[in-house]
Structure 1
Amino acid sequence: MIRILLAEDEEAMRTYLHRALENAGYEVVAVNKGTTALPLLQTHHFDLLLSDIVMPEMDGIELAQRCAQVSPTTKVMFITGFAAVSMRASKEAPQAKVLSKPFHLKHLVAEVEQLFERAPARGPR
């Protein structure tokens, strides 16, 4: 099963994304900030880091850079509501996919499925 580490500081969005990804068949661990995510990346295997860019204490870009050092096989996808931040992410972490808010959950799941070349989910499992 594909394991996703979700780092999102907004509780409602974190809950929403967590539920949608689990319903699509992924194992998800959700945290509210990058400084909480980093130790998990150091001690557990995750296939994907799905991170908001703008977060307190450690932004998603710094988290992705540290992820590349401690878990180089973990893929990275950013979510953000800020166009300028999206451009910075594309420049500083060019290997990462960037999704701009608002987005439909089907689009997020499709992007994750494409990242892992997985067949689309057929509803809750």
Structure 2
Amino acid sequence: MPRILLAEDDDSLRNFLARALERAGYEVTACADGEQAAAVLDEDWDLLLTDIVMPGMDGIEVARHAAARHPGLRIMFITGFAAVALTAGERAPAGAKVLSKPVHLREIVQEVERMMAAA
């Protein structure tokens, strides 16, 4: 079963995302912030799905650490800040996908499925 590391500081969104991805057949480890996600980066992951703007370690920093440990790891960002989304591509690891909030859960699941299939 493909494994997803989810980092999202909004409790309700994190729970909704985790449930939707689990229903789609993924194993999801949900973290409330970047520090929690960074603490489990040594495990094997198929995808990192992270918010960009979080207190403490932001999602781009988590993604950089993850990409360094797991070259080829699929990375997807979600953000509610348009300006952040516009500049994320410059700072994010190559090949990362950026989705802007609000985004429908179905759209996120579809994008995850596309990224998994592209491997």
* Shorter-chain TM band: over 0.9
1:12-65 CA-partner distances (Å, limit 9, x unpaired): 1000100000011100000001111112112x1010000000001100011111
Question: Tell me, which stretches of 5 or more residues in structure 2 are unaligned?
Answer: none
Matched, 1:105 2:77: no
Correspondence 1:92 to 2:112 = no
8 Å contact kept, 1:48–1:75 = yes
On the 8 A contact 1:49/1:75 being kept in 2, the answer is: yes
Matched residue, 1:4? 4
- Which structure's CA Rg is the greater one? 1
- Could you say which residue in structure 1 is the equivalent of 2:80? 81
1:34/1:57 contact within 8 Å kept: yes
Q: Which amino acid aligns with 1:7?
A: A
Q: Helix, strand or coil: the match of 1:41?
A: coil
Structure 1 stretches of at least 4 aligned residues deviating more than 4 Å after TM superposition: none
* Structure 1 portions without partners, runs of 5+: 119-125
Partners of 2:53 and 2:24 lie apart in 1 by: 26
Check the 8 A contact 1:47/1:73 in 2, yes or no: no
User: Helix, strand or coil: the match of 2:40?
Assistant: helix
Residue 117 of structure 1: how far off its partner (Å) = 1.4
Letter in 2 for 1:51: T
Normalising by the residue count of structure 1, what TM-score does the alignment of the two structures yield? 0.89
TM-superposed deviation, 1:92: 1.1
Cα RMSD (Å): 1.2
SS state at 1:45 partner: coil
Match of 1:60 in 2: 59
Which residue of the partner structure matches residue 14 of structure 1?
14
Q: Match for 2:111: what amino acid? A: E
Tell me, yes or no, if structure 1 residue 69 matches structure 2 residue 54: no
**What is the aligned-residue identity percentage?**
55
Alignment of 1:23-38 (within 5 A): 23-38=23-38
